[in-house]
């Protein structure tokens, strides 16, 4: 097996059953054209991988932020799947070093181009999807994007939910909300935390999250959403 392909698989912690799919994912159109095989570029895989990525990120955003409306979820997804973010993720796994580029593209600095790297990463997701199915592709996407998720969706004005809720309660009651860990469950590597926030007026709201911090943010989001509906 080509050492190039072996290194990529080690970097993404996934072993291909069909290594040809990995080669296809790494093949830029400039390389395919030089080989006289224009059909052997990663463009079709990129098309497929784009859809896989969007579904994985959408599902995870839906799970992480149960109190967020469609607008906030869309903003979070857009931030994660934009070209600059994808290129950054591609560089973290060294994808730039393993691309198959034509001589002209190589000479023009193609390995540094965000758009080219983003396309290659999406093609990689498409390749894993075809090779191992949706669950394998989702594991790869979620593993690579885990460090990029915010603790909570950002509210208008750029403040997180806990900060905004604290401002509201201090203005109205001169007191802060109190957060309590209600429960935690699941294995150590995939725990789910349940948190309750108590407002100064006695209202209580609960939410869950993959960490204590994120569960607190989700509880604050729940409180904010309910307070807004009460005022409407």
Domains of the chain in sequence order: 3-148 (1.10.1520.10), 161-231 (3.30.160.20)
Q: Which of 67, 105, 119, 122 is catalytic?
A: 122
What is the spatial distance between Cα 225 and Cα 206, in angstroms, rounded to a whole number?
Answer: 12
The verdict on whether 54 is a catalytic residue reads no
Q: Give the per-residue pLDDT at 72.
A: 81
| Crossing angle of helices 19-26 and 3-12, rounded to 10° | 90
Sign of CA dihedral 184, 189, 190, 196: positive
Q: Give the per-residue pLDDT at 214.
A: 84
Q: Give the per-residue pLDDT at 204.
A: 94
Q: How far is CA 43 from CA 39, 77, 137, 196, 217, in A?
A: 9, 22, 18, 47, 39
Q: Which of 50, 119, 196, 216 is catalytic?
A: 50
What is the spatial distance between Cα 127 and Cα 22, in angstroms, rounded to a whole number?
Answer: 6
The verdict on whether 50 is a catalytic residue reads yes
pTM of the model: 0.67
Sign of CA dihedral 143, 26, 76, 161: positive
Q: Give the per-residue pLDDT at 1.
A: 44
Distance in angstroms between the alpha carbons of the first and the last residue of the chain: 63
- Which residues does the chain have with pLDDT short of 50? 1, 156-157
């Amino acid at each position: 097996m080509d050492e190039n392909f072996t290194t990529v698989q080690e970097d993404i912690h996934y072993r291909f059953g069909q290594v040809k799919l990995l080669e296809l994912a790494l093949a830029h159109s400039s390389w395919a054209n030089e080989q006289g095989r224009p059909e052997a570029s990663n463009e079709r895989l990129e098309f497929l991988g784009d859809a896989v990525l969007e579904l994985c990120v959408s599902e995870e955003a839906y799970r992480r932020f149960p109190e967020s409306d469609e607008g906030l979820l869309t903003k979070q997804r857009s931030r994660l799947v934009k070209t600059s973010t994808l290129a950054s993720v591609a560089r973290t796994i060294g994808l730039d070093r393993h691309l198959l580029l034509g001589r002209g593209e190589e000479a023009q600095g193609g390995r540094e181009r965000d758009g080219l790297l983003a396309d290659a990463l999406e093609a990689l997701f498409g390749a894993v999807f075809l090779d191992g199915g949706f669950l394998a592709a989702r594991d790869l996407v979620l593993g690579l994007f885990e460090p990029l998720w915010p603790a909570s969706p950002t509210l208008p004005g750029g403040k997180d939910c806990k900060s905004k809720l604290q401002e509201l309660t201090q203005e109205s009651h001169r007191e802060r909300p109190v957060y309590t860990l209600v429960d935690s469950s699941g294995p150590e590597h995939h725990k789910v935390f349940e948190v309750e926030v108590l407002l100064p007026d006695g209202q209580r709201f609960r939410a869950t999250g993959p960490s204590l911090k994120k569960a607190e943010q989700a509880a604050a989001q729940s409180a904010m959403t309910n307070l807004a509906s009460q005022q409407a």
